[in-house]
């Protein structure tokens, strides 16, 4: 049976304290609090730097059974290397401890920069590097660089599927060839709602769907009204009816809308 998971892009935001998070709640308890109110969260600290195995283990322990993280891949791969010559960085990322999330490891999100235009050959090389189960990911992780010595986790509790979602932000990716490449690789193309700033690619390219809701009127700021939530409820239910799992993340965090909107959508879906 297909499942919808809904949450926010991240959980550590100062403006949320005293609004979403109760006054006096320890920062160390914020993930536990948030994860009891939504069913998934995008873990975005991994975008800025490789995290420690102990951090991944703590996040697993601080969340309830059945909770799932999406994991944002490092900007070193997507924004600095720009998907080129990234076999070793991908190995380092996979060795950093995310496989220790076990059953709580959801899709890996590959967010591309707006300046990275569509290049079919580059995309083909990148997609070929992505492992599609945790056993294959462990083998890739064994190719990590020497600088990972003592900072890696090279074990899994069992082999599970590993999903990938890619979010292009250049309009040149609105190309059928790219859709075909993603579908052949079983990689979901993210549907990004961004008030027109980035391409809106509502395609089915995998056995799951992934949406990032940055704000339908003003990016990162505007909340979703009843009509907006109606749209995303309908979109989610349509995928569920076609037996596709769904991941929806609100990234409109500036005015503390993300957690409120996520909980509202979950309520509509009958969580």
Mean pLDDT of 197-217: 95
pLDDT > 80? residue 137: yes
Strand partners, 209: 246
Residues in Cβ contact with 259 at an 8 Å cutoff, skipping those fewer than 6 apart: 8, 16, 20, 34, 37, 38, 250
Q: What integer best gives the mean pLDDT of the chain?
A: 97
Query: What total of structural domains would you count in the chain?
Result: 1
**Could you give the C-alpha distances from 242 to 236, 245, 250, in angstroms and in order?**
10, 9, 23
- Per-residue model confidence (pLDDT) at position 174: 98
Q: Which range has the worst mean pLDDT, 87-91, 221-225, 252-256, 257-261?
A: 252-256
Mean pLDDT of 35-59: 98
- Per-residue model confidence (pLDDT) at position 221: 81
Residue 224: domain span: 4-268
pLDDT > 80? residue 227: yes
CATH of the domain at 251: 3.20.20.410
Give the whole-angstrom CA distance, residue 194 versus residue 144: 35
Give the whole-angstrom CA distance, residue 190 versus residue 209: 7
Entry pTM:
0.96
pLDDT > 90? residue 220: no
- Per-residue model confidence (pLDDT) at position 219: 86
Give the whole-angstrom CA distance, residue 224 versus residue 244: 24
H helix intervals, the chain? 30-35, 45-48, 53-61, 75, 87-95, 120-127, 134-141, 176-185, 226-241, 258-268
pLDDT digits (tens, 9 = 90+) for 178-198: 999 999 999 999 999 998 899
**Could you give the C-alpha distances from 4 to 52, 102, 106, in angstroms and in order?**
29, 19, 12
pLDDT > 80? residue 172: yes
pLDDT > 90? residue 116: yes
Mean pLDDT of 147-176: 97
- Where residue 252 falls among pLDDT bands split at 50, 70, 90? confident
């Amino acid at each position: 049976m297909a499942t919808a998971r809904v949450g926010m892009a991240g959980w550590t935001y100062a403006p949320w304290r005293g609004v979403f998070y109760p006054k006096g709640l320890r920062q160390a308890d914020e993930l536990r609090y948030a994860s009891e109110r939504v069913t998934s969260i995008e873990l975005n600290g991994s975008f800025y730097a490789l995290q420690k195995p102990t951090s991944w283990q703590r996040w697993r322990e601080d969340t309830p059974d059945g909770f799932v993280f999406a994991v944002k891949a490092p900007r070193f791969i997507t924004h600095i290397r720009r998907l080129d010559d990234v076999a070793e960085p991908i190995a380092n990322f996979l060795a950093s401890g995310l496989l220790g999330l076990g059953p709580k490891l959801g899709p890996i999100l590959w967010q591309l920069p707006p300046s990275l235009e569509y290049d079919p050959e580059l995309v083909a090389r990148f997609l070929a590097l992505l492992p599609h189960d945790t056993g294959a990911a462990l083998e890739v992780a064994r190719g990590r660089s020497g600088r990972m010595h003592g900072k890696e986790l090279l074990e899994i509790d069992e082999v599970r599927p590993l999903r990938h979602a890619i979010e292009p932000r250049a309009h040149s990716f609105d190309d059928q060839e790219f859709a075909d490449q993603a579908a052949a690789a079983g990689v979901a193309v993210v549907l990004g709602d961004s008030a027109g700033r980035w391409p809106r690619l509502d395609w089915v390219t995998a056995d799951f769907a992934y949406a990032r809701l940055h704000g339908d009127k003003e990016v990162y700021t505007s909340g979703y009204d009843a009509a907006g939530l109606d749209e995303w409820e309908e979109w989610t239910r349509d995928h569920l009816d076609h037996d596709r799992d769904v991941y929806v993340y609100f990234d409109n965090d500036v005015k503390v809308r993300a957690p409120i909107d996520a909980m509202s959508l979950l309520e509509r879906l009958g969580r």
